[in-house]
Structure 1
């Protein structure tokens, strides 16, 4: 008995890695934001008076430093399809704790550490409500946004504490010797490297993308989704607490309403930097470029005499365009994949049928 059979081998490829490496690196949303940042800087240097002044660089980096810091853990949170709207309120609460403890005569390093711990506790509480109680992070952090801000204002009222050790306020405003770059950029770079390695070069980072793409599948594959998200919210609160200490020293001012609205700036920068609001996609270099783009654009427009209201409008338009463009590209890619699948299906249908076994 003889039999003749036809066998075919189907090779499945991941489309993104089917392209050359240089295209995978250059043709991304993150690189587009970096290119746009370079263009804005170039135009500002030519067209905006005093933009090339070293003081402009100093004040620009000082202003965006808290946003840069908070954007690091926020990137990881949004990649897992969650969000933390309470970060600015934690900054305000950390600022108040720093001011009250310093005013009570406690050494500043101890007061700063206590403020950072308070931020960490705020993140732990967010993580508990999201991962243990099972509430949606949007609802939880809207509630804790109001809760933490209310505690901060309740502790200090409408007054402000402006007396802080001079050596610490001078350190917060100091530059790296011989450069216009503020000292705060040193801890930011250290944290950025840590978060970048964590996100892009460790199994933990891969689990974040897996959770963002499909948390049920991630859980079935053995990933502890709850514990992972709990860690992220704790990190977010801790970094926001540190940003609150820096914010207090930079402006020599502890108030309950410090950093009001900063959470929207952070989220806008993260989304502008290429992180998908639906989770599963994003990179830290794009987020850093997004923060700097918003900062450079705002600085150049202010130097050009544009009002803050117009700057907010332009920033909002940029954010909307970034989200719309991401959705449009995803839609086009889906249609292209569907069209390729149909063509392959027709090609398979036209192929001659395999001969039946013969006896």
Structure 2
């Protein structure tokens, strides 16, 4: 699999050359980031091949099911979570420590991500992900094409839930392959478990908000962003990386990672809110305007409701799941007219500033500090 686009973006933010001369920090950033993305992909490919063979030995159809799960894991993606975890680890150990012992733990985060995405797509009834049919849609189409009994949509959702479950089990199994002292692996596991608990809590809050959007608030929407996205996209992966390196909980570095991770994680979700309304589907891989059709109580839409005049609020309340494309486009214009877009953009900028300030601690390796500064830009200035 080709290296993820995040590599190139990070390298453009922090070039490997400066003033015509080689920049050693930029060069190390390029080498380390390329190494981790390629190594995570290779680790996943090898691990999943073994797991598919094991399930195929039970029954050929189980092997096909496992292949569907594998495709959900390997179908593109930014590899942001293992990348943040990697730099959290490198920020402690520096550049000399070998990568292979911790690779299974880094790659496990992608399996956890696949679990969350697959279940989220079922809950949101999403048709596409990364420009391809979501797992439940693809499986439903296979069911219908084969002429099997029962409702194809229901079958697709059932299988997708199992795909997510399998990815979660696979993540546990791969994490256990990290070569670490037992006591440290236990600490890593505690961190990993807390990340999972907070992710599920955030997803529950997201579902709850969709069921009662009129009683939601900007702060509640931020809480969803904090736990559903920030928790397992940036904050906990960084802390996970530090735990892989053996850092104790009360370290100043842990406090810096915590502050940076929450700020960039929230900014990442705020960027997603904007892309969900104004992103180009050809780039994002998802239809534009779904949040508007469903009335999903994102920070952007909660701010728009707060700022809207009576006419704008009436427009925000009228568009629903059956809305025509022109109606969704007009609603996006209404959201912008309220000033909510500018406020969200300012919130993103403020959080990036907060994160960069958090990195100003002497205990973080210089190359990792530079990489994390670049990743802050990558995560918050994107089109997908």
TM-score normalised by structure 1 residue count: 0.32
Q: Which protein, 1 or 2, shows the higher relative CO under an 8 Å CA cutoff with sep ≥ 6?
A: 1
Q: Bigger radius of gyration, 1 or 2? A: 1
TM-score normalised by structure 2 residue count: 0.31
